Amino acid sequence: MDGAQQPETPVDPLAGLTGASPRTVGGAWQPPGTFVSGGRGPKLFSAEGRRGTVVSTVSTVIVLGALVAIFLLAPGAHAVEHAFFSPSHMWAAFIGNPKQGYYSVGAAILLNIKMFVVAEVFILAFALAIALVRQSTHPALFPIRVISTGYVDFFRGVPLILVILAIGLGVPALNLPVVSNQSNAVYGVTALVLSYSAYVSEVYRAGLNSVHQSQVAAARSLGLPHRTALRYVILPQAVRNIVPPLLNDFISLQKDTALVGILGTIEANKAADIYSEQVFNFSSFTVAAILFLILTIPLARFTDRLIERDRRRRLAGAAR
Amino acid sequence: MPADPSVPGAGPAAAPGGEAIRIEGLHKSFGENEVLKGIDLAVASHEVVCLIGASGSGKSTLLRCINLLEPINGGTVWLWGSRITGPGIDQNLVRRYIGIVFQSFNLFPHMTVLRNVTLAPAKVLGMPQRQAEEEARALLGRFGLLDKADDYPDRLSGGQQQRVAIVRALAMKPQIMLLDEVTSALDPELVSEVLDVIRELAAGGMTMLIATHEMGFARDIARRVCFLEEGRIIEDAPPAELFSNPRDERTQRFLRRIVEAGRM
């Protein structure tokens, strides 16, 4: 027997699959005796009917119980409860009392909502313009394309809080005729628009690219000029494709209106801050947090519903 | 050929017996890859020409070059004696005269069938919405699709979607129809309903250039059949000649493979 390489008989890759040639020492292939789940695996992960409901209930009780226990049994539990969750303070902060030197968090949240709505309208329009410019190929738009790319890079890179400070402190300092005399909320909204438009324009671009080239071909083949094809065929499909990430940005924006308080604007977080400084209790922040949750959770659930409905529609179409 | 006035294409605008499409020396490359290596082809008005050939032979690319979806790298295309390739051409104007139907239907999924059909006539031809809808319904009814007018494309079968795609192209009243393997993506039992529509168009006098794998259909409907291989037209002859007595060895090889595959 030589130690050098022996010429090997080529192994047929289909050997053993058809039963024509025996595979291994054990002889011909045998089917498994049964497919019933043996009870040897972890039973907890069975997904069957009623047993599944019991399992999920038990697991919820255990998890919640553990969290509550941690909270109640911690040594500082009582102090934290008073500092953050005191009902009387929460109510006082919610109502507000300007004579005592603090404002109503409940009223201040309305400013957050107003800033959100105004900002969002401008963001949706401005970001679309940026996306369309960046996607265009017309040579005359070249300089604007370059500026747009620089804009997006810059405002995605600089933290929003710095943008708010820069605009809120810098623009008044420039002492320009009309522009320098606006309220802090206006500067805040401007900063939000500048910053978020950079992100949202990227979402739009993803949406525009997600429309299959064949749709563009079909639209152009019918004689539709590019702008008409964009308006009736491409954009409607692009927007439908990106509704979930757009709504995500909505939710984000709602929360980021709180940052405008850094300029002194009395929005919800700032009002809570003022209360806590007057009264040395942080329950006002809990109120603010709850109010923000009331605003964002329905939006989050709505987004989930849209994603699920879209997934069902796509699967139904694909099944054909 | 008696012209059926209810089917588009038979209008007086097409010069009887004149040349509808003339292609000379057409070259098309995608980057380094030359897909069309000098195509010469003429299609007369009211003529039906079928393009056959293996995948990758350039049939789809040729059709897409004719309706200017793809820019060309060499050669010229004329429509009714007027140049349509090269600088200074209004592409949207050219495309109003040529209808194209694709293998993957490409209906607009976010619009109803009716809106799919009326969009281009309303926006490009400036037809008032009501007139566009009337004509659309007439066309849909003509091909048995009227009850689907308010459905979205995802509710239709493949054959129905493809017939809607044909109606959508016809709604622009083109003088020429390009059909790019329109039955290749369909289940076999749905193929015949689409072929019937195409037969009606041919009977009505529509000038058509059809890329197809359906050899039996090509033999029935075509005045001429062109065999393409690797970007060149190898043979161009009436179907009786080409299918029974192919002159070129490459054509013979191709047809033999088709017969072996049981497709003819």
Collect all residues of chain B within an 8 Å Cβ-Cβ radius of residue A207: none
Domain of residue B61, residue span: 19-260
Out of A90-94, A157-161, A312-316, B186-190, least confident range: A312-316
Residue B10 confidence (pLDDT): 43
Helices (H), B143-232: 158-170, 188-203, 215-221
Q: Note whether residue A214 is domain-resident.
A: yes
Residue A49 confidence (pLDDT): 62
In angstroms, the CA A119 to CA A191 distance is 9
Section A291-315 average pLDDT: 83
Section B70-76 average pLDDT: 93
To probe the interface with A, which of B60, B106, B124, B129 has the most A CB atoms within 10 Å?
Answer: B106
Q: Note whether residue B8 is domain-resident.
A: no
For the sheet containing B19-30, what is the strand order? Answer: B33-44, B19-30, B74-79, B82-83
Domain of residue A173, residue span: 101-318
Residue B14 confidence (pLDDT): 43
User: Which B residues, 87 through 116, put their C-beta within 8 Å of a C-beta on chain A?
Assistant: 91-93, 95-96, 98-100, 102, 104, 106-110
Q: Note whether residue B3 is domain-resident.
A: no
Out of A44-53, A192-201, B172-181, B250-259, least confident range: A44-53
**Residue type at A129?**
A
- DSSP letter for B17, please: T
State yes or no: pLDDT of A4 exceeds 70. no
- Count of domains for chain A: 1
Section A104-130 average pLDDT: 93
To probe the interface with B, which of A215, A220, A221 has the most B CB atoms within 10 Å?
Answer: A221
State yes or no: pLDDT of A27 exceeds 90. no
Residue B189 confidence (pLDDT): 87
pLDDT in tens, B154-164: 899 999 999 99
Q: Note whether residue A250 is domain-resident.
A: yes
Section A73-81 average pLDDT: 84
Residue B174 confidence (pLDDT): 94
State yes or no: pLDDT of B231 exceeds 80. yes
Pairwise CB contact (< 8 Å): A223 & B69:
no
Determine contact, residues B96/B131, Cβ cutoff 8 Å.
no
Out of A66-70, A158-162, A306-310, B141-145, least confident range: A306-310
Collect all residues of chain B within an 8 Å Cβ-Cβ radius of residue A223: 92-93, 95-96, 120, 124, 172
Q: Which of A218, A228, A316 sits opposite B106 (nearest CB)?
A: A218
State yes or no: pLDDT of A21 exceeds 60. no
Count CB atoms within 10 A of the CB of residue B210.
Answer: 27
Pairwise CB contact (< 8 Å): A222 & B110:
no
Which residue of chain A is at minimal alpha-carbon distance from B122?
A224
Collect all residues of chain B within an 8 Å Cβ-Cβ radius of residue A317: 109, 154
Residue A23 confidence (pLDDT): 52
Residue A11 confidence (pLDDT): 75
pLDDT in tens, A226-276: 999 999 999 999 988 898 889 889 999 999 999 999 999 999 999 999 999
Out of A143-147, B66-70, B165-169, B188-192, least confident range: B188-192
Is the CB of A80 inside 8 Å of chain B's CB atoms? Answer: no
State yes or no: pLDDT of A62 exceeds 80. yes
Residue A26 confidence (pLDDT): 55
Q: Note whether residue A38 is domain-resident.
A: no
State yes or no: pLDDT of A319 exceeds 50. no
Question: pTM (2 decimals)?
Answer: 0.77
User: Which B residues, 10 through 69, put their C-beta within 8 Å of a C-beta on chain A?
Assistant: 64, 67, 69
Tell me the two tokens of residue A128: 């679309």
Section B89-93 average pLDDT: 92
In angstroms, the CA B264 to CA B183 distance is 15
Pairwise CB contact (< 8 Å): A236 & B123:
no
Residue B261 confidence (pLDDT): 83
Q: Note whether residue A180 is domain-resident.
A: yes
Q: Note whether residue B13 is domain-resident.
A: no
pLDDT-based confidence at A303, cuts 50/70/90?
confident
In angstroms, the CA B165 to CA A48 distance is 46
User: Which A residues, 219 through 258, put their C-beta within 8 Å of a C-beta on chain B?
Assistant: 219-225, 228, 232-233, 236-237, 240
B129: domain CATH number?
3.40.50.300
Collect all residues of chain B within an 8 Å Cβ-Cβ radius of residue A222: 95, 119-120, 124, 168-169, 172
Averaged pLDDT of chain B: 89
Is the CB of A49 inside 8 Å of chain B's CB atoms? Answer: no
Q: Which of A217, A223, A233 sits opposite B92 (nearest CB)?
A: A223
The share of chain B scoring above pLDDT 90, in percent, equals 78
Q: Note whether residue A186 is domain-resident.
A: yes
Section B10-15 average pLDDT: 42
Section B82-87 average pLDDT: 91
To probe the interface with A, which of B66, B119, B186 has the most A CB atoms within 10 Å?
Answer: B119
In angstroms, the CA B21 to CA B41 distance is 8
Residue A311 confidence (pLDDT): 75
Q: Note whether residue B14 is domain-resident.
A: no
pLDDT-based confidence at A96, cuts 50/70/90?
confident
Residue A230 confidence (pLDDT): 92
Residue B115 confidence (pLDDT): 96
Averaged pLDDT of chain A: 85
Closest by CA to B23, choosing from B55, B88, B87, B67, is B67
DSSP calls for B40-85:
EEEEETT-EEEEEE-TTSSHHHHHHHHTTSS--SEEEEEETTEE-S
- Count of domains for chain B: 1
Q: Note whether residue A59 is domain-resident.
A: no
Section B129-147 average pLDDT: 94
Q: Note whether residue A72 is domain-resident.
A: no
Residue A19 confidence (pLDDT): 58
Q: ipTM of this model?
A: 0.87
Instruction: Say how many CB pairs under 8 Å bridge A and B.
Output: 63
Pairwise CB contact (< 8 Å): B119 & A224:
yes
Is the CB of A310 inside 8 Å of chain B's CB atoms? Answer: no
Residue A40 confidence (pLDDT): 59
Of A126 and A303, the one with more pLDDT: A126
Pairwise CB contact (< 8 Å): A224 & B92:
yes
A149: domain CATH number?
1.10.3720.10
Q: Note whether residue B119 is domain-resident.
A: yes
